[in-house]
Amino acid sequence: MQRRSFLRRVGAAGAGVAGALLSTPALAKGEPKVRWRLASSFPKSLDTIFGAANTISRTVADATGGRFQIQVFAGGELVPPFSVVDAVQSHTVECAHTAGYYFFGKDPTFAFGCAVPFGLNARQQNAWMYKGGGLDLMRAFLKGYNIINFPSGNTGAQMGGFFRKEIKTVEDLKGLKFRVGGFAGTVLAKLGVVPQQIPGGDVYPALEKGTIDAAEWVGPYDDEKLGLAKVAKYYYYPGWWEGGPEMDLYVNIDAYNALPKAYQAVLAAACAYANAEMLAKYDAGNPQAMRRLVAMGVRLRPFSRDIMNAAWKAANEVYEETAAANPRFRKVYQPWKRFRNEQVLWFRVAEQNFDNFMTTVA
């Protein structure tokens, strides 16, 4: 790839590091050869969410004339999908591509770098990270794990998952074994759900065997690939716990600091491009995937207003309980909440009205 072409792509993604690249002399010549390993939390079969790691790897290599190489490994090839934080922290690998809320069990603060119930949509999440102070707050938190993070993907608002039976009331949730992780699992547990955190590659067999009663993953494009519609016909929306979940590249701080400044700039730009590209892929692929699922007999259902209200109440209880007990969480939660509320006020004016009108006429 030509360097100018790379910079155009970065600009299209809205990356703020293009200027740094333009001012960096001799990106390839004279710079050292660097070889990294990247552990993904995702299986290769999910080409969009796993593919962001390949986008980062390919872009970094292209921009440095092949002198900076990142070898990508799917979930489980080097370390288990939910062990990538430990691997990066210990420098077993240099970096990992993952979803921060997978590590809610280590500290619920991780989730703010990905998604939390009734949180931000994809655009708001980018605003929070790039311009709202979120990136600084998350990097300060992750420094305790010897990690620096880079936003590297977003799915957009997700679906609520596939269920074997209809869920009409809050009572129907009680005792339900549901593949859902992180913050959402804690909130749903207040409503009687039995949350199960299962890696993407294991979701289908768990649902097929009846180990779980329901499963959420991402949305139509990925859910179709997992084959969930073959074993559960009720498809609920919205995934109120994932309004705009961000994927991150977690990088070992020592490995990052050892990079030449030019390579650091290239890595940041590659992640920014992957961040924009993933959302574009999902937005382009979801409509036709949804049509195919409905043609298979999938029954679309909205969560009832009673369920949404109960979940909203439970989520706010969990927020306040967690903030009272965890100062790291509280430090991020308080400014995040203010930012979210301001974003909701603004989106209510133009965005929501435009979207609402378009859904009635298009």
Q: In the numeric block, which tokens belong to residue 54?
A: 């390949």
Residue 15 in this model has a pLDDT that exceeds 60: no
pLDDT in tens, 101-114: 999 999 999 999 99
CATH number of 161-242+288-324: 3.40.190.10
| AA letter at 284 | A
pLDDT in tens, 247-277: 999 999 999 999 999 999 999 999 999 999 9
At 208 the pLDDT is 94
At 28 the pLDDT is 57
C-alpha dihedral (10, 13, 16, 22), degrees to nearest 10: 20
% of the chain residues with pLDDT over 70 = 92
* Per-chain mean pLDDT for the chain: 92
Q: pTM of the prediction?
A: 0.91
At 199 the pLDDT is 86
Q: Is CATH 3.40.190.170 the classification given to domain 3-155+244-283? A: yes
Number of neighbours of residue 48 by Cβ within 10 angstroms: 23
Q: How far is CA 344 from CA 117, 304, 340, 353, in A?
A: 14, 21, 6, 12
Strands annotated E in the chain: 34-40, 68-73, 95-99, 147-154, 161-163, 177-179, 194-196, 214-215, 234-237, 246-252, 299-302
Is it true that 3-155+244-283 and 161-242+288-324 share their CATH fold? yes
Can you give the residue ranges of every domain in the chain? 3-155+244-283, 161-242+288-324
**pLDDT band (50, 70, 90) for residue 156:** very high
| AA letter at 308 | M
% of the chain residues with pLDDT over 90 = 89
**pLDDT band (50, 70, 90) for residue 27:** low
